Amino acid sequence: MEMDTVVQIGRELFYTSLLLTAPTIAVSLLVGLAISIFQTVTSIQEQTLSFAPRIFAVGLVIAFSLPWSLHVLMNFAQNMFYYAAEAGR
């Protein structure tokens, strides 16, 4: 296997991992920011108020983005099988 192929595989792995984690991280960040602003405005400093809505929102995002995530993972797996077949030649 040539070095260019290894770099390409690493690049695809990094891009796919960023693509799959971006929606959940973005939603968690936005919900956390909204809850923090709400806590600052109302002077409520309850830890579970920040944690519970964030888990609920991330769970919803994972549930709704699951078909898309599986499609991205299937494309990545097909590419990796292609690279493995090419390496065996």
pLDDT at 47 (0 to 100): 76
Do the Cβ atoms of 36 and 50 come closer than 8 Å?
yes
Domains identified in the chain, total number: 1
| Residue 17 maps to a domain | yes
pLDDT in tens, the chain (89 residues): 688 888 989 999 999 999 999 999 999 999 999 998 998 898 888 777 888 899 999 999 999 999 999 999 999 999 999 988 888 77
- Residues comprising the chain, all counted: 89
Residue 30 is assigned to a structural domain of this protein? yes
Distance, in Å, from the CA atom of 34 to the CA atom of 43, rounded to the nearest integer, reads: 14
In a domain, 56, yes or no: yes
CB atoms within 10 A of CB 35: 19
Residue 18 lies in a domain: yes
21 domain-assigned: yes
| Cβ contact 34:57 at 8 Å | no
**Total-model pTM:** 0.79
Print the domain residue range for 40.
13-87
